[in-house]
Amino acid sequence: MKFGMVGGIAFVIDYGLMNLLLLTHMHNILATSISFFVSLVFNYLASMKFVFKHRPDMARWMEITIFFVSSFIGWIMNEVIVWISTSWMPHDSMYTMHTQYILWTNIGKLVATVVVMVWNFAIRKWLLDDTHTNAMNRLRRGSAKLTEAELAAKRERSVAHRLGMWSIEHAPFGWK
């Protein structure tokens, strides 16, 4: 629920700024890049405060690295999809076919938003959220639920825990 609320606000920031920039005849790739990164800063601050719990077994520098590397990959996906949405149009279409250019950019951005949202949720839930193992256990019924010991063992074997422990042991300049 919180992920959706933060994402909704980031969506409004992203789309609002993108469309303002497009109205000034800015190229869609530049406009979507600027709006993506502005909404990314908001999304990072809000997500780390309201959505995802800090993993006590992971250094903050690793959380930030995971967030921004996954966001960089999301940005690449975003830009490729937006580029595809208008690549078939004439080179000067941002001036000569401005309304259609904005329309097709928005359609591409909608597709990109869905793809990037799924990517971001999956990778951040997998690597940043401390509660994912226990949350999955709550979905199990009766005797299929894991015991506390089984949950702890599963957490210890997880990629996120191993990555987190490595990040604490290898924190640069004492960043923990």
Question: What tens digit of pLDDT does each residue of 47-57 get?
Answer: 878 876 677 78
With CA atoms as reference, report the closest residue to 75 among 42, 25, 29, 7.
Answer: 29
Are 93 and 86 contacting, i.e. CB atoms less than 8 angstroms apart? yes
Is residue 39 in some structural domain? yes
User: Does residue 73 belong to any structural domain of this protein?
Assistant: yes
Q: What are phi and psi of 6, to 5 degrees?
A: -60, -45
- Number of structural domains (the chain) is 1
Question: 156 in a domain, yes or no?
Answer: no
pLDDT tens readout for residues 60-86: 888 888 888 999 999 999 999 999 999
Domain interval for residue 86: 1-128
Give domain status of residue 162, yes or no: no
- 19 is a domain residue: yes
State pTM to two decimals: 0.79
Predicted pLDDT at 67: 84
Closest CA to 44 of 26, 63, 57, 59: 63
User: Residue 149 CB: number of other CB atoms within 10 A?
Assistant: 8
Residue 159 lies inside a defined structural domain of this protein: no
Amino acid at 75: W
Domain membership of residue 26 (yes or no) is yes
- Is there a domain that residue 143 lies in? no
Kindly report, residue by residue over 13-63, the tens digit of the pLDDT. Answer: 999 999 999 999 999 999 999 999 999 999 888 887 887 667 778 888 888
The burial class, CB within 10 Å (0-12 / 13-18 / 19+), for 33 is middle
